[in-house]
Amino acid sequence: MPSFDIVSEVDTHEVRNAVDQANREIGTRFDFKGTDSHIDINELKATMVSESEFQLDQMLDILRGKLVKRGVDTGCMQIEEPKTVGKTARQEIVFRHGLTSDMARDIVKRIKEKKLKVQSAIQGEQVRVTGKKRDDLQSVIAMLREQDLELPLQYTNFRD
């Protein structure tokens, strides 16, 4: 029986490369001269440091541009509120990875509401969808792409 998996993954290597490119651009831009503006990354959590919230907004735009060029969906970014302490402003960005159990249940519920001839099962941080026909599986993918979900989804492990 044909099947595929619904996952939400972030390529951490591409995220690191995008942060490195953004740091290089920040270091060469005239409006950041003389400031200690930079982006630190630890696992899937990035911290932007600058002197003002306006500069943090500019850094966020630079980072988004670099992520898009590297093929990373910016929908996975959870942007925290900026915090200003003294002369430094900080803002944290968390790159969400994997489906939460609530999100997986929501996906299964949406699939069942459409009454398609497929079965869906939650397996850890992914949802496996199986059906008798490939067309049914493709209609599930099309339906999920139309939905407004908070995380970007990838469809992997497609088997006939």
User: How much is the average pLDDT of 93-106?
Assistant: 87
pLDDT at res. 20:
94
Q: What angle do CA 101, 104, 109 make, to 5 degrees?
A: 125
Tell me: pLDDT of 147 over 80.
yes
Q: For each of the domains in the chain, give its residue range(s) and CATH number, in order of start.
A: 3-8+98-159 (3.30.70.860), 12-95 (3.30.70.990)
Tell me: pLDDT of 66 over 90.
yes
Q: Centre a 10 Å sphere on the Cβ of residue 10 and count the other Cβ atoms it contains.
A: 20
The CA distance from 144 to 141, in Å, is 5
The CA distance from 151 to 83, in Å, is 25
118 vs 18, more confident: 18
The CA distance from 17 to 109, in Å, is 37
Q: Are 49 and 89 within 8 A, CB to CB?
A: yes
